Amino acid sequence: MVPSLDAQLPDGRWVRVKDDIGFPAGLYRTMTADLTGVLPAGARRIRITTNLKVYWDQVLIDTTPAGAVSIHTTDVPLLDAQLAFRGFPREVSGSPAADLRYVYDETSRFGPWARHRGFYTRYGEVTPLLTAAEDRFVIFGAGEEVSLSFDARSLPPLPDGWTRDYLFYAHGYVKDMDFYAAHAQTVAPLPFAAMSGYPYRKDEAYPDRNRGYLLDWNTREVTAESWPSYRAEYRRR
């Protein structure tokens, strides 16, 4: 189950205050959970409950009042997006073994990984598919990447004493090839924002208004889950 959050009341009882706080899916990363207005009065202890194998190395609580720190946000427009085959970067295990790192400049064309059968987005420029969050998205799979370029000319000069952070917003879907996952071997059926869940009901379907997108963009068919070889041979790029 996804990580949930409990809080201990002053009388010692534990109560569930948030059913889903998300999780750092896949790799080492920082995640946030908004607890504004969530914790009961007098709560001093919280706990995370899950049956997933997740490693947490530290938890930080921010009690800074809203508006106490000056923040200025600037949207940086997407300039260009290119879809291409990259290969599989060399994987380096840490301690614990789930602490993985990847060497981006050392890749192998093949390896012991499968891929979904079905129609993927054609290689090349895919900028028009990434300008808004809707049901027209880039479909790409194992060994592929989307390279993004942004126009930084809209960024204002930093005032004295200020620092700049970059936040990348991504809206999309991911499908595993697990034994217990629905439609685990195929790209279809495609997800869409208004679906009730996945797999969706028999009376639901991917929006027909996007038929042109399917025919124009998703023309690259993958017919086999396996690669020509399962041997990983890394080369520096």
Tokens of 164: 């700049």
This prediction has a pTM of 0.81
Q: Per residue of the chain (237 residues), what is the pLDDT tens digit?
A: 789 999 999 999 999 999 999 877 666 778 888 888 899 999 989 999 999 888 888 889 888 888 888 889 999 999 999 999 999 999 898 877 767 889 999 999 998 888 999 999 999 999 999 998 889 999 999 999 999 999 988 899 999 999 999 988 888 999 988 888 889 999 999 999 999 999 999 999 999 999 999 999 999 999 999 888 888 899 998
- What is the model's pLDDT at position 29? 76
- What is the model's pLDDT at position 25? 67
Which of these, 16, 3, 17, 9, lies nearest to 49 by C-alpha position?
A: 3
- What is the model's pLDDT at position 96? 73
Letter for the amino acid at 24? P
Quote the CA–CA distance of 225 and 177 in Å, as a whole number: 10
- What is the model's pLDDT at position 26? 65
Domain boundaries, the chain: 1-65, 78-155+164-236
How many other CB atoms are found less than 10 A from the CB of residue 6?
A: 16
- What is the model's pLDDT at position 50? 92
- What is the model's pLDDT at position 86? 95
**Burial of 7 by CB count in 10 Å (0-12 exposed, 13-18 middle, 19+ buried)?**
buried
